[in-house]
A and B are shown apart, each in its own frame.
Chain A
Amino acid sequence: MKTETYQLLRRLHDRHGPREFGKICQKLLAIACRLAGFEHVVERGVQGVDVDVALLTERYATEVKTTEKDSVVFQQKDMEGLASRRQDGYQPLLAVLRLSPFSDWHLVSIEHLRTGNLLIASLRPYRRRDLEERLTPRFDEGLGAHFDGAWADSQSYLDKVLRNLGVQVLDTE
């Protein structure tokens, strides 16, 4: 990722802590999807698949994981949640962001994944580079535009942004 992006994310992480940071990234990814042209975007702050996006017949259901380590835990319930979206025509994806200057979003097809602790490097063969290339610049753009708001008001600010962009936000409210 770009240094600027990394540093902004690092500041958000240091301010809000890893858990909140994960939620912020999820919402920023939803914003990026919307900015990338996906017409139908659903972001879930509640249990279930984190982000659903659709553009005509192109549909993805995404589980979002953020970490500072070299691996993420892909749980059985994540796998099952994603698999259940297949019936609606959604391709299940695992979106992994490692907070590091040389990392980028890994958008990974889950077909070949097992559950448990996954080494991020082992996800490489299954990356959807086409999607990553579409979303990463939009993510940087969204982060740049909404950093101040996310810094100050975190999720509540980003929820407003999402709603203004026409994204369906499902949260605990």
Chain B
Amino acid sequence: MLTPRTLKVRGFRGFLNEQEFRFDTPVVILFGENHSGKSSTLNALEWCLFGDECKGIQTGIRERVGWIVPNRHLDRPDVLVELTLDGPDGTYRVCRRLYKAPKKTTLVEELEVCLPDGKPVEREKAEQQLTRLLGCSSRDFMTTVYQHQETIRGIVIEKPKERNEAIDRLLGLSGYTNLLSGINDASLQRRHKKIGKDFEDFETRVQDILAVWEKELNAKRQEAGVIGNRLTGSGTLAAAREVQQSLKAFAERAGLEPVALELPAGWQSLPAFEKSAKQILSELRAATPDLQEQQRLLDRRKELARLQSDYESARTHRDNIGKKTRELDTEHGGRKAVTARIASMDQTRKAEEARRRAIDALAALIEEAINYLERSDEDGPTNRCPVCETEAPNLLATLSKKLETARQGQLNKIGDKIEGLKRSLEALSKIDEAYEKLDKQLARLVEELSTARREIGELLGKELTDADDPLALLKSELAGLAHRLKQLSDAVQEKQAALQKIEEDLDKVHTAREILQLAEKKQFADRIQESPEYQALEAARDRLALFVADVEAVKSALLAASSEEAHQKLTAAERAIDEYFRQLTRSPDVRQIQLKLNADARGRNAYDITDQDGNDLTPILSQGDLNALALAVFLGLASCSAAVSGFGFVLLDDPSQSLGSEHKKQLCKILDRVCDTRRVLLATMDREFYEYLRDGLTKAKTEYTFGAWTAENGVRVGRR
């Protein structure tokens, strides 16, 4: 077991200058007022062994949060703690330093461990050496060796899980606990399940795909009239062969080029066959002679029909024009008569115009004569005729008047006649124009008929004479064509039906091939399962399951071992714990204290601290009793050499807290017994307790008294 021999401290928390402590007696008492450096001395020992592990929230001690290691009053931090420990194989020297290196802003920590053979090791190697030597964590040390008030009380008042873990640590079972926690943290079961879930997801996807394909396949089967799984690749190939032979036979019958269509070796290559067959079918449809003849005849029929229509139309027009001409003739006596009448009327018109001009000339002459007579009668108007000299009053005026009347009468008559002639001429001209138009139309239609006749002759392949009736010839030809077309149509339909049948057979081949493809696609899951990769994965899953089972077995073994060891240690220490508690408290109600070992839901150790009747003690005990209980458990285990850690000492910091005088006396007696198996390093500010210790402890003691701490001098220690 490890026991401390000396401790050198410098620059650590309250310490300024180097102080040396010797721990070579069974009991070492550090006595002094609060803030005098007692706890810092115990802390220095702990820090030397565990470094920064004993800082921070994970320690479970409030004051360790934000804990400053170097003395704050030093200009340049330079911490040195050196501990010599006697171990089973000799003396170890552990030296931990924390200092500020030149030109560096951060602190440097150094560890050196000097082995029993005098060989020093540093840094990482030193840490490894120290870990091996101590065999526990700082937290374990805090419960098994260092009785810190907060952590020890946690044993009896913390939540069950933490309390159980704390007691496990106190019993030195943290090795098991740590391994179990490590196994739990690895979450193997959860991960195993997760891997299973991933597989399950994959399988679900495969299932979904298979379901979709199955549905598609069933639809195809139904469409193809395939029952169950009776469709085979060889059957499908046989159907394809029939298509091939049908196509060849058809081409031969139709007198076409032989069909070049190769049958594939396997049904998987049928798509190319299907494509070629489709192409050939299309070509056969287009290339069938009957079909071509049918098309040619249809074209001819169309042309003949067009000519018939044109000819009939032209002839009808021609007849209409003849009819119209005849109607004009009937009405007007023919175009010649009309022309003659136009000429006659025009002549009459011209004669009338000449007569009108003559009357005008005569009237002008008479008017000139009257004017002359009027100008020659200077004596005024005469009333005698100049020719016969007969009495004729107002003769000239009368003559002028008569002349005017006669001229107007004649001219009006002539004018009316001329106008009448003009109107008649205009009407006759229109009739003549109508004749002219009909003549022109007739000439065009005659030309058209002649052209149509020529074309009909050309189409019928003969020169038509006047004796031929083109329309009759056309009708005869069309009737012949209709008969031939009917024959051809029957033949074409028969062949198309044959081709249609082949196409339907080809479609069946196509559907069958699709069914086979879908059925084959579904086999992908089989191929996955048969693949070496999947086999390897399966083997890996087997190994994983075996590993998980093994780990579970290890876990069960650890739990069993932890439980068994706890049972052994508790059995060994239960008497001491019971005695110490009753000795400390002298509680009349508690005649016996029992630490019962159970298993919690996870199979971990669970401890019940009960009285003689099995009642849980923690809710009914006073603060002092709880403190006593914690001490009883701690010291009971500590005093039982078989029970706990590899440390041959305990550190007690202010253990008399909350204890009355009698409790203190009893504690002193208990400590005297603990000294039989452990070296006791104890710090107290309690003078009464100190006095009890000095007088009551029967073992050799070293006492260090701590004077008032000052920032300038730091911790001041005196040895008694």
Contacts and interface: CB of A to CB of B under 8 A. Distances in A.
A117 B206 CA distance: 26
Contacts of B525: 3, 6, 101-102
Interface of A: 2-4, 6-7, 10, 70, 100-103, 112, 119-125
Nearest to B202: A102
Nearest to A1: B529
Interface string B519-542: 000111110110000000000011
B383 interface: no
7 contacts: A3-B210, A3-B522, A6-B525, A121-B193, A121-B196, A122-B545, A124-B541
B545 A101 contact: no
B196 A101 contact: no
B260 interface: no
B545 A125 contact: yes
B200 A122 contact: no
A124 B206 contact: no
Contacts of B546: 124-125
A143 B528 CA distance: 22
Contact of B548 (A100, A102, A120, A122): A122
B67 interface: no
Contacts of B207: 10, 100-101
Given A3-B526, A7-B522, A119 B193 contact: yes
Overall SS of chain B's interface: helix
Interface of B: 192-193, 195-197, 199-200, 202-203, 206-207, 210, 214, 522-526, 528-529, 541-542, 545-546, 548-549
A56 B542 CA distance: 31
A3 B530 CA distance: 12
Nearest to A3: B525
A3 B523 contact: yes
Given A7-B210, A102-B529, A121-B196, 9 more contacts: A4-B522, A6-B210, A7-B214, A70-B193, A70-B200, A100-B207, A101-B525, A119-B196, A125-B549
Nearest to B545: A124
B442 to A, nearest CB: 89
Contacts of B524: 3
B203 A101 contact: yes
Contacts of A112: 549
A121 B214 contact: no
**Top 4 closest pairs, chain A to chain B, by CB:** A124-B545, A125-B546, A121-B196, A3-B525
A70 B194 CA distance: 11
A112 B193 CA distance: 19
A114 to B, nearest CB: 10
A124 B545 CA distance: 6
Contacts of B214: 7
A101 B206 contact: yes
B210 A101 contact: yes
A2 B541 CA distance: 19
Contacts of B193: 70, 119, 121
Nearest to A122: B545
Contact of B200 (A2, A7, A100): A100
A7 to B, nearest CB: 6
B547 to A, nearest CB: 9
A123 B544 CA distance: 11
Given A3-B523, A100-B200, A122 B549 contact: yes
B465 to A, nearest CB: 86
Contact of A121 (B206, B522, B528, B545): B545
A100 B206 CA distance: 9
A124 B542 contact: yes
